[in-house]
Amino acid sequence: MTNKILKTRNVRLYYGEKEALHGINLSYEPTGINALIGPSGSGKSTYLRTLNRMHDLTDYVTVNGTFTFKGQDIYAPNMDVVELRKEIGMVFQQPNPFPFSIYDNVAFGIRISGEKDKAILDERVETSLKQAAIWDEVKDSLHKSALSLSGGQQQRVSIARALATQPQVLLLDEPTAALDPVSSHKVEDTLMSLRDQYAMIIVTHSMSQASRISDQTAFFMDGHLVEVNATKKIFMNPDKQETQDYISGRFG
């Protein structure tokens, strides 16, 4: 077993009194795509959002468990959450560009870190847009509003924005659910081109997407992790009957 970059143990999460995650144990290799699948309400997004402390601002949420990123405790009181989110970036279901230019969207996180050198910003913006496989489409319109792009292009700009702060982990919450099939495929291709460099954790409702692009798949049900394994194994010969029933479309 190689060194895991991110480990979570016995994750429990409460919305008020209600326990929504019942002791999740999952860990991630430094590179590759990890799919989280399961019926609606099974806790996939809730779990994903624990990984970069997205629940911090919701006062009725309590998170318990052990979360280790590169050996550090994610929930340590002295953890700098802004820095953490640069290293564990996030892409949401709805493409969410800021109402600025494409360039300023991608440069946003780098500028927050205090970088003002135009040559460095230019280089980082270009590299990130290339990594997100959208450079060729926008290189002549970097100063146009990101809102003028199509949904699929906006989503790839959102990926570029997350990559610009040089993260090691990318969290993706149904990143193609709001896109048409052609745009979804472009985003999937983008993620596959990044799989050797980043650990990606993707919540998806699409069985075909999970089986096409991911290396590891975790199946959630009712706030429990039912089964996690290599994606091929999960889709061809899962250990648990519930997993078999879900992937063959019997529920969810």
Ligand X SMILES: Nc1ncnc2c1ncn2[C@@H]1O[C@H](COP(=O)(O)OP(=O)(O)OP(=O)(O)O)[C@@H](O)[C@H]1O
**Count of CB atoms within 10 A of residue 21's CB?**
25
Stretch that binds ligand X, among 42-50, 83-91, 156-164, 238-246 (CB under 6 A): 42-50
As measured in angstroms, the least distance from the Cβ of 124 to ligand X is 32
Residue 118 DSSP SS3:
helix
36/106 with CB nearer ligand X: 36
Characterize the bridge pairing of strands 199-203 and 32-37. parallel
With beta carbons less than 8 A apart as the criterion, state whether 203 and 36 touch.
yes
Stretch that binds ligand X, among 36-44, 117-125, 126-134, 142-150 (CB under 6 A): 36-44
Residue 80 gets the label, from left (phi > 0), alpha (psi -120 to 50) or beta, of beta
Reported as half-sphere exposure (CB side, CA atoms, 13 A), residue 73 has a value of 7
As measured in angstroms, the least distance from the Cβ of 15 to ligand X is 4
Residue 46 as a binder of ligand X (CB under 6 A): the answer is yes
Residue 86 as a binder of ligand X (CB under 6 A): the answer is no
Rounded Cα gap, residues 88 and 5, in angstroms:
11
72-73 β-sheet, strand order: 18-28, 6-15, 61-69, 72-73
160/234 with CB nearer ligand X: 234
Residue 14 as a binder of ligand X (CB under 6 A): the answer is no
Residue 45 as a binder of ligand X (CB under 6 A): the answer is yes
Q: Where are the beta strands (DSSP E) in 184-238?
A: 199-203, 216-221, 224-230
Q: Is 178 exposed, middle or buried (0-12, 13-18, 19+ CB in 10 A)?
A: middle
DSSP designation for 168: S
- Sole binder of ligand X in the list 5, 26, 34, 43 (CB under 6 A): 43
Residue 23 as a binder of ligand X (CB under 6 A): the answer is no
As measured in angstroms, the least distance from the Cβ of 220 to ligand X is 6
- Sole binder of ligand X in the list 15, 75, 100, 108 (CB under 6 A): 15
Residue 95 as a binder of ligand X (CB under 6 A): the answer is no
- Sole binder of ligand X in the list 23, 30, 32, 41 (CB under 6 A): 41
Rounded Cα gap, residues 176 and 148, in angstroms:
19
Residue 42 as a binder of ligand X (CB under 6 A): the answer is yes
Stretch that binds ligand X, among 44-52, 94-102, 154-162, 240-248 (CB under 6 A): 44-52
Stretch that binds ligand X, among 39-47, 104-112, 189-197, 226-234 (CB under 6 A): 39-47
Interface residues with ligand X (CB under 6 A) are 15, 20, 38, 40-46
